[in-house]
């Protein structure tokens, strides 16, 4: 599942480094460029809720196999789109493929983790962040080496993954008793899930706004397309390390401390990235990514433990729906950037990270204990 997450998230990572290309190719405003990020976020993330509900009822194997197939095909041919409208269609179809994989895969990951569940989910989540980071460099290597017209070559690792998943994913279906009828468990724990969701949405908005517009602000500063992709790679790679550290620590101390840190600490680093010169801007960007992602596995595990009989659905709320709504941060940065500039818009977005802090004291503060909740 972790390998699948790495390759599946390789493909949505194609958009940020290519965003300047699409701006030039179709003559896009920053607002329309931001819409591309929002479309991808809505389909890759918001749609996870529907796929999570289906997986809890009909089984997970179909979704973890077919999802990456759609992702690798449609997102690899994205640079070949002859129009802005068709580009949006490719993004949406590829994004739906990405979405179908996540809730089932993270549910299977948690169910196999008999100890240190936060760390197990952190490893899974970090693989996705690494995939997105590598994806940015991978697509740039393809288009610079072979040309944009051969971007379809990028689907190769996805096709290999599909074969591995087809033969390696368990065929077991969920037992009828594992699914609460009518979604009653989700409603019963709606208050806690709403708090977790709010924290996840705010973090996702900040991450996705920066991820999509880092290459744009780098180009405005005179940097190359490759340097912009490298900056995104650094941001997400450091985020994967931060997620691992956060998951490791939250199995040992109050997870709310990690969540509070990941809401406050990124702010000065994100601002420093905008104001400092090289190499300090990249150092600040890396630290921002590490601190932002430190709380990601915690919100997923809290949601799963709240509704242990509907883990795919709960995972989709904290990992999917939250990131889908957070994707509006990309459109917001674009719209605000047309008025005050990209740098000013990202400055405002950095401060938005603080909005998660008031919700955190109301989350469960007990230390996560391995095996406390039987996840299916």
pLDDT of residue 227: 85
Rounded CA-CA distance 81/262 in Å is 38
Cβ–Cβ < 8 Å for 330, 37: yes
Q: Is residue 6 part of a domain?
A: yes
Q: Is the pLDDT of residue 265 over 90?
A: yes
Rounded CA-CA distance 337/208 in Å is 15
pLDDT of residue 262: 95
Cβ–Cβ < 8 Å for 266, 291: yes
Among 248, 312, 350, 321, which Cα is nearest to 111's?
Answer: 312
Q: Is residue 368 part of a domain?
A: no
Residue 232: give its domain's CATH number: 1.20.1250.20
Token code pair at residue 344: 């000013």
Q: Is residue 247 part of a domain?
A: yes
Domain that holds residue 96: 2-170+183-362
Q: pTM for the whole thing?
A: 0.74
pLDDT digits (tens, 9 = 90+) for 212-245: 889 889 888 888 877 888 898 899 899 999 999 9
Give the residue ranges of DSSP H helices in 180-224: 184-188, 190-220
Q: Is residue 175 part of a domain?
A: no
174-194 burial code (b ≥16 CB/10 A, e <16): beeebbbeeeebbeebeebbe
Q: Is the pLDDT of residue 45 over 80?
A: no
Count up the domains in the chain and report the number: 1
Q: Is residue 374 part of a domain?
A: no
Q: Is residue 375 part of a domain?
A: no
């Amino acid at each position: 599942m972790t390998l699948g997450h790495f390759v599946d998230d390789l493909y949505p990572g194609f958009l940020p480094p290519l965003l300047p290309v699409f701006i030039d190719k179709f003559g896009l405003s920053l607002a329309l460029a931001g819409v591309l990020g929002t479309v991808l976020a809505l389909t890759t993330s918001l749609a996870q809720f529907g796929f999570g509900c289906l997986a809890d009822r009909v089984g997970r194997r179909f979704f973890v196999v077919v999802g990456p197939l759609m992702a690798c095909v449609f997102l690899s041919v994205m640079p070949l789109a002859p129009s802005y409208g068709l580009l949006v269609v490719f993004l949406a179809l590829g994004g739906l493929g990405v979405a179908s994989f996540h809730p089932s895969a993270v549910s299977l990951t948690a169910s196999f983790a008999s100890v240190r569940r936060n760390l197990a989910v952190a490893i899974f989540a970090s693989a996705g962040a690494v995939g997105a980071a590598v994806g940015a460099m991978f697509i740039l290597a393809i288009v610079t080496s072979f040309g944009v017209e051969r971007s379809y070559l990028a689907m190769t690792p996805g096709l290999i993954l599909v074969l591995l998943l087809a033969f390696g994913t368990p065929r077991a279906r969920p037992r009828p008793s594992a699914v609460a009828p009518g979604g009653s468990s989700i409603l019963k724990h709606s208050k806690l899930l709403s708090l977790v969701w709010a924290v996840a949405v705010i973090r996702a908005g900040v991450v996705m706004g920066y991820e999509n517009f880092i290459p744009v602000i780098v180009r405005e500063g005179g940097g190359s397309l490759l340097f912009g992709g490298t900056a995104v790679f650094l941001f997400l790679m450091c985020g994967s390390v931060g997620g691992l550290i956060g998951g490791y620590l939250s199995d040992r101390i109050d997870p709310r401390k990690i969540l509070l840190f990941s809401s406050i600490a990124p702010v000065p680093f994100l601002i420093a990235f905008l104001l400092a010169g090289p190499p300090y801007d990249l150092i600040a960007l890396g630290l921002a990514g590490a601190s932002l992602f430190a709380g990601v596995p915690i919100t997923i595990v809290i949601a799963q433990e709240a509704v242990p009989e509907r883990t795919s659905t709960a995972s989709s709320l904290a990992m999917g729906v939250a990131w889908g709504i957070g994707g509006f941060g990309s459109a917001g940065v674009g719209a605000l950037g047309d008025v005050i500039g990209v740098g000013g818009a990202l400055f405002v977005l950095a401060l938005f990270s603080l909005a998660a802090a008031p919700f955190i004291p109301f989350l469960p503060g007990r230390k996560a204990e391995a095996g406390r909740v039987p996840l299916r």
